[in-house]
A and B are shown apart, each in its own frame.
Chain A
Amino acid sequence: MHGGKGGVFARIFGYIRFFFSTMDQSHRNKVTEVTEFEVKELENLFVLLLMGSFTGIPSPPSFVAAELLPHLEHEIKVLNERAKNSFDSLADMASLLDID
């Protein structure tokens, strides 16, 4: 009997903990989204700088770009996908900004 009550309380406590941890995670996700958006912009600049020498922008020198390029493997894949969606940012921005 006593154990049963303990079980119920433990379950209720578990639900409350789950609720708060979920809420906390949601809040964190939401606020870090803004930073992620800014990071995206910085990554775009970084890639532009590195790839620049290949497209005629005179900085940085090609050998520096070639040396750093392997570090960009993942980013290039991501940016490839982003390039396809680059004209379609309205919804992304709308979900980033709390309007209405």
Chain B
Amino acid sequence: MTTLIVVVGLAVYVLLYLTYGKKLERSVVKATDDETPSQRMFDGVDYVPAKAPVLFGHHFASIAGAAPIVGPVLAMAWGWVPGLLWVWFGNIFIGAVHDYLALMASVRYDGRSVQFVASDVIAKRTGKTFYWLVFFLLILVIGAFGAVLGNMFIANGQVPSAYILKLVAALILGVLLYRVKMNFTAATIIGIIMLVLAIIGGHQFPINASRDVWMLVMFFYIIIASAVPVNILLQPRDYLNSWLLYIGLAIGGIAAIFSFAGFTAPAFTSFAPIVSGGQPSPFWPVIPLIIACGSLSGFHALVGSGTTSKQIEKEKHGLPIGYGAMLTEGFLSTIVIISVSGFGLSIIQGAGQDLTVANWGSAYAGAMNASFGAATTFTNSYAAMVDSTFLTILPTEIVKVIAGMWVASFAMTTLDTTNRLGRYTLSEILLPLKAKNESMFNFLTNRWIASTIPAIIGIYLAWSGSFTILWPSFGSANQLIASIALLTGAAWVMKRQKAKNANIVLIPAYLLWITVTAAIIWFSVVVLPGTIEANPTTGIVVLIIEIVMLIMNFVFIIDFLKNKDKPLASEA
């Protein structure tokens, strides 16, 4: 079954890329042979053409993270079929379209961001909305990923130990590259050897500590990592991470193809099993809050319209890079679903949890959370899947650490980079305050204050809140950005492209807006009251964020509906 699903998944992706993707390219984006910004505005610095495979790798490494791994594990509560269908079809018809349009709209706007495009084709304040949503997303992503990492480090002490050793390896690599000025290839080989040693060292010397200790460690790590010059720690660390991503994907892909295992998880449990906050969670509209990045992620619109659009060599490269990279991320989520479907049940049962196929819908989320948490449930399932193939020559415990490092590295990268973006977004948000109270503005936008605000709130949420609350909260901010970006894409298609097939984008955009809005209302009305009762501060902080986002969402749709048929100012 595992093999069959991988093959079917690959076939679906390839087939729809060649049909639906190509149709989008021809009739909606209308890709031409015209010069792209990288050629038209070549400056050798920001605007530089990159070869398509290289840019694909770069773009994919930027969009792939821990979220497409963690979300599908939680979504298994519905059974494996609903999650898989959302990953495949949400990805093909919404998520990849969203990424592709954001990239191509940016290409046609001289490499400007989706935020700029939104200001032009919808309304100025739509562009401003991005700052708020990104700021909320940063807080919630720290909360959600902090909770994921906390559970993960408690479940397997080898992972944090290996991660700390990897940081030491990154520091050494930084010294070799920038101080010793060693040849890059030689330094890379040494870096990979140190990475392997870190994995073995982590396996040999696990660090076991309580959740409180890990939360404090993470908080101080975020602060220190944001203060250390990037070339000392973060840059070599990210370089080692890229290798981990490809090693993890290669081992997982081969294992999924050759495992030939049956699925032990049920195909479908019920429309509304227990997923978020211990509440029955209806598949519609809740699913996008649970599976965000594997299917659709608003952050990708920003990534694509940032550096990728300035480096794309030809418009026709947009489809493999913008659309194709997102399908590859969907494939990553497919591997996650396959491994947990095939091996998750026995792993959770092995931890002493009362989980069976019969009670899966009501017990899975709780049992998964209480045993290992989402990330470790995946890494243990992944290791079991690898063990069921000829790759069994790799020791299972080591594979667990490799997979754990893979997920932890991505989650940690997110935690320690949010400070930099947090400071920037807060400065933009607070700009109106400057005229009224300059000293307060200067205080709040001070390097240390501004950059630690998301860290303080986020880690507090992770410390005090439950994963099944924080994860959907992060999903809501992410999917709201996606909704705005997709409607921006639709407005661009209608107004600038004047495409006859605008509905191919407009209908998914409306569906997404309605779904995300309904999901946030459901989450705020059904789930959060219980959280507020159990943990007032956490519940109220999340509720305030959800309400503000919801208000912005309505303002945004009103702007969109009001302006969608109006000609652009430049064409009026």
Residues on A facing B (Cβ under 8 Å): 18, 22-31, 33-36, 38, 40, 74, 77-78, 81-82, 85, 88-100
The chain A residue with its CB closest to the CB of B54 is A25
CB pair A97–B242 under 8 Å, yes or no, is: no
Min CB distance, A79 to chain B, in Å? 10
Q: Pick the 10 closest A-B CB pairs, nearest first.
A: A26-B57, A95-B306, A91-B113, A94-B302, A91-B306, A97-B417, A95-B303, A27-B242, A22-B53, A91-B302
CB pair A90–B131 under 8 Å, yes or no, is: yes
CB pair A22–B57 under 8 Å, yes or no, is: yes
Q: How far is the CA of A89 from the CA of B56 in the complex (A)?
A: 22
Q: How far is the CA of A1 from the CA of B498 in the complex (A)?
A: 57
Given contacts A22-B54, A97-B417, contact A77 B43 (CB under 8 A): yes
Residues of B within 8 A of A88 (CB): 112-113, 115-116
The chain A residue with its CB closest to the CB of B188 is A24
Given contacts A81-B41, A90-B130, contact A30 B410 (CB under 8 A): no
Residues of B within 8 A of A36 (CB): 45
Min CB distance, B71 to chain A, in Å? 10
Residues of A within 8 A of B84 (CB): none
Residues of B within 8 A of A98 (CB): 61-62, 65, 238, 241, 410, 413-414, 417
CB pair B112–A85 under 8 Å, yes or no, is: yes
Residues of B within 8 A of A78 (CB): 43-46
Residues of A within 8 A of B236 (CB): 31
Which single member of A22, A31, A89 contacts B235 (CB below 8 Å)? A31
Interface residues of chain A: helix, strand, loop or mixed (majority): helix
Interface residues of chain B: helix, strand, loop or mixed (majority): helix
Which single member of A26, A28, A34, A91 contacts B305 (CB below 8 Å)? A91
The chain B residue with its CB closest to the CB of A43 is B45
Given contacts A27-B239, A34-B231, A90-B425, contact A96 B141 (CB under 8 A): no
Min CB distance, A20 to chain B, in Å? 10
Which single member of A18, A26, A95, A99 contacts B418 (CB below 8 Å)? A99
CB pair A26–B242 under 8 Å, yes or no, is: yes
Residues of B within 8 A of A96 (CB): 306-307
